[in-house]
Amino acid sequence: MSGKQQQADSTIELPAPTQWPFFAGLGVSLVFAGLVTHVYVSLLGLGLLVTGAIGWWREVLPREHVEHVPLRPVSERAATIEPAATAVARLKLGHRGHRVRVPEEVHPFSAGIKGGLAGGVVMAVLACLYGLLAYGSIWYPINLLAATAMPSLATAGVEQLSAFNAAALGVALVSHVLISIFVGLVYAALLPTLPSHPMVWGGLIGPGVWSGLLWASLGVINPALAENIDWRWFVASQAAFGLVAGFVISRAERVETLQTWPLATRAGIEASGVEPDEEDPS
Q: In this model, does residue 141 exceed pLDDT 80?
A: yes
What the chain holds in terms of domains, given with CATH numbers, is 8-73 (1.10.287), 105-259 (no CATH)
**What is the pTM assigned to this prediction?**
0.54
What is the Cβ-side half-sphere exposure of residue 70, based on CA atoms within 13 angstroms? 3
Quick: pLDDT tens for 108-121. 888 889 988 998 99
Quick: pLDDT tens for 152-187. 887 788 888 888 989 989 998 998 899 889 988 888
Alpha-carbon span 251 to 4, nearest angstrom? 70
Q: What integer best gives the mean pLDDT of the chain? A: 79
Alpha-carbon span 263 to 255, nearest angstrom? 18
Mean pLDDT (whole number) for 32-52 = 91
Q: At residue 105, what are phi and psi to the nearest 5 degrees?
A: -135, 140
Give the model's pLDDT for residue 282.
Answer: 46
User: Confidence band (pLDDT; 50, 70, 90) for 270?
Assistant: low
Give the model's pLDDT for residue 47.
Answer: 93
What is the CA 277 to chain-centroid distance, rounded?
Answer: 42
Quick: pLDDT tens for 53-83. 999 998 888 888 888 888 887 777 777 878 7
